[in-house]
Structure 1
Amino acid sequence: MRSDSFDERLLRWIDGHQVDALTSFSKALMDVSEASGFWMAVGLIGLVVVVYRRAWRVGLAVGLASYLGGLVSGQLKEIIERPRPTYPDALVQVGGYAMPSSHACFLMAVSIAVLIVVEWRPRRALVLAATGFVVVQLLIAVSMVYLGAHWATDVFAGWALGVPIGLLCGLVFRKRARSA
């Protein structure tokens, strides 16, 4: 990577502005997002909610978005083979390839699918959900770049990939309007 690229300049800036509290928070967030037990618990809770609410369309949209987001981003990583950042003060060392960010792709795909497939009432519930998704997306993205696990452009690529996956999954399972 060119030493004057956007990604390199950003990581150098981060390197000079690290803060203990943000480092601790970012590492904790990464630990949680990497823990299979956490995702199994989230999946189980989601399944209980889907069954209890009989929200089959939501469950199917989220399941498909999760699967496709992970599958497509994983396959693209193997094709692109972009190495992860390596700079003197990287706070974590992560294996595998960097682009696109699987976390960003997966979270974006699921977020978009949920926003499309759920019938939001009242309308402000949609605004609150979208705001929550944006906050989570940004927290994860900033943490991964801050720690040196991803280049910023890996995250942007993950988001760009997750949007059409989420749109597809949400639209496939969205309730159709009845004809008059």
Structure 2
Amino acid sequence: MRTEPKLTRLDRIFARLDREPVRPVLDVPRMTRHRVVLFGATLAFYLAIVLAVAVTSWLVRFDWQAMLFRPYQQWPEIHAFLDYWVVLGQRGPTAVMVAAWLGWRSWRQHTVRPLLAFGAALLLLNITVGAVKYGLGRSGPHYATDVGSNEMWHWFQAGSDIFPSGHTANAVVTWGILAYLASTPRARRWLSALSAVLSLSVGLTTVYLGTHWLSDVLLGWAAGLLILLALPWCEPLIARAEAWILAQRDRLPLRRPDLSTAPRPAPVAAATAEPVTGAAVADAAVPGAETAGAAPAVLTTTTTATGEAATAESDPAAPVREAILPSAVRTTRPPLYLAPGPHTARSERTPITPAGSRRPPHAERPTRNQPSAARPVTGG
């Protein structure tokens, strides 16, 4: 008996990836001239924001005006909704949602490139944004002490890591990666517009709640856009990482060999019993054939392993011959509930049509085809 191996979840995932040996050709974005121009313009905007805050320009004064306006006091009715809306910029929940979607795409497209591109984008986000945050050391509105100052270079104070806005940059990268990995140009355009609006709304929500300056939001939006524009430079590295992962997957010892081509054991020759005929009867005695002190004889017909039909007469008083015969050639007896004698199928029996009426006789009801008694005539 051949036992099928119990596949683990990892084996099922590998079997799914191996279903199509040739993976579909995906549209991988390249670093075109248009993208290089956008990258340069965004980088110039990024440096301009940093310089404007560092020299305490009009942008810093506008930050203080927006903070002293206190939007959460002007429109308190939307405060509860925006507390939930700002979660779309938090790194943990958004990364889980987007990774689940990209994992499903990797499953369908038989490639790990979407997950690798998303991981590369998050790695660049943590390195670049985190380095600027702790390098500039700007305090947030809740920790500001000097009205009109840029609140920078406070490396050892609490809340001095808010420039640029991490919520805004994370929203740009997390939702923008869906547009970057889109399959069609139309889907890429729609997802790009949607991610831009979503990231800006998340950034303005942090300004409403008083956790970020307005310049923090602008710099965070530029930081996330720079990462998305620089991702095509990482595509060769992503392709090599994917090839290495697939090569290591093929070398895993957990992958069991395919047993579908293994030789199967030869089937054991089994006895096939012929259908019960009129000559084969049950263990009961045949009427008129039994004698006093002797048990009735039973004729059984079997087919041995060599294919020859044999008819044997069994005697209950004799030793049981089945005990010394192999299981493949044992006699197959008819069931005991069959009545003795030859049997015919229901279709071979002659139908019996009952004569007369099937209704029971009734004392008060006259017999069919018999004239009934004359009814008395009433009236004159």
Pairwise TM-score range, normalised by the shorter structure: 0.7 to 0.9
Change (3 A) 1:48 1:95: farther
- One-letter amino acid of the counterpart of residue 112, structure 2: W
| 1:138 alignment counterpart | 200
Q: Is the counterpart of residue 52 in structure 1 residue 116 in structure 2? A: no
| 1:43 alignment counterpart | 99
| 2:224 alignment counterpart | 162
| 1:101 alignment counterpart | 165
Q: Which deviates more, 135-144 or 4-13? A: 4-13
Q: Is the counterpart of residue 10 in structure 1 residue 66 in structure 2? A: yes
- One-letter amino acid of the counterpart of residue 148, structure 1: G
Change (3 A) 1:87 1:26: farther
For residues 96 and 137 of structure 2, what CA distance do their matches in structure 1 show?
Answer: 28
Change (3 A) 1:21 1:54: farther
Instruction: Give the alignment partner of residue 147 of structure 1, picking from 192, 195, 209.
Output: 209
Higher relative contact order (CA 8 A, sep 6+): 1
- Deviation track 1:11-36 (CA, whole Å, cap 9, x = no partner) reads 22343863233211211123464483
For residues 22 and 117 of structure 1, what CA distance do their matches in structure 2 show?
Answer: 34
Contact 2:63 2:214 in 1 (8 A): yes
Greater share of residues in helix: 1
For residues 160 and 41 of structure 1, what CA distance do their matches in structure 2 show?
Answer: 23
| Structure 1: 5+ residue stretches without partners | 89-93, 175-180
Number of equivalent positions:
167
- One-letter amino acid of the counterpart of residue 105, structure 1: A
Contact 2:87 2:93 in 1 (8 A): no
For residues 175 and 82 of structure 2, what CA distance do their matches in structure 1 show?
Answer: 21
Change (3 A) 1:67 1:21: farther
- Deviation track 1:43-97 (CA, whole Å, cap 9, x = no partner) reads 2343233233335333322221122112221121111100011289xxxxx9451
| 2:187 alignment counterpart | 125
Contact 1:58 1:173 in 2 (8 A): no
Change (3 A) 1:38 1:133: closer
Change (3 A) 1:20 1:87: farther
Contact 1:104 1:155 in 2 (8 A): yes
Q: Which deviates more, 33-42 or 138-147? A: 33-42
Change (3 A) 1:172 1:39: closer
| Structure 2: 5+ residue stretches without partners | 1-52, 145-157, 237-380
Give the number of the structure whose alpha-carbon radius of gyration is greater. Answer: 2
Change (3 A) 1:95 1:25: farther
- One-letter amino acid of the counterpart of residue 203, structure 2: A
Contact 1:113 1:166 in 2 (8 A): yes
For residues 45 and 85 of structure 1, what CA distance do their matches in structure 2 show?
Answer: 36
For residues 190 and 216 of structure 2, what CA distance do their matches in structure 1 show?
Answer: 27
For residues 130 and 110 of structure 1, what CA distance do their matches in structure 2 show?
Answer: 12
1:86 counterpart SS class:
helix
Sequence identity percentage? 23
Shift of 1:138: 1.9
Contact 1:30 1:143 in 2 (8 A): yes
Instruction: Give the alignment partner of residue 135 of structure 2, picking from 51, 67, 79.
Output: 79
Contact 1:99 1:157 in 2 (8 A): yes
Change (3 A) 1:110 1:36: closer
Contact 2:139 2:161 in 1 (8 A): yes
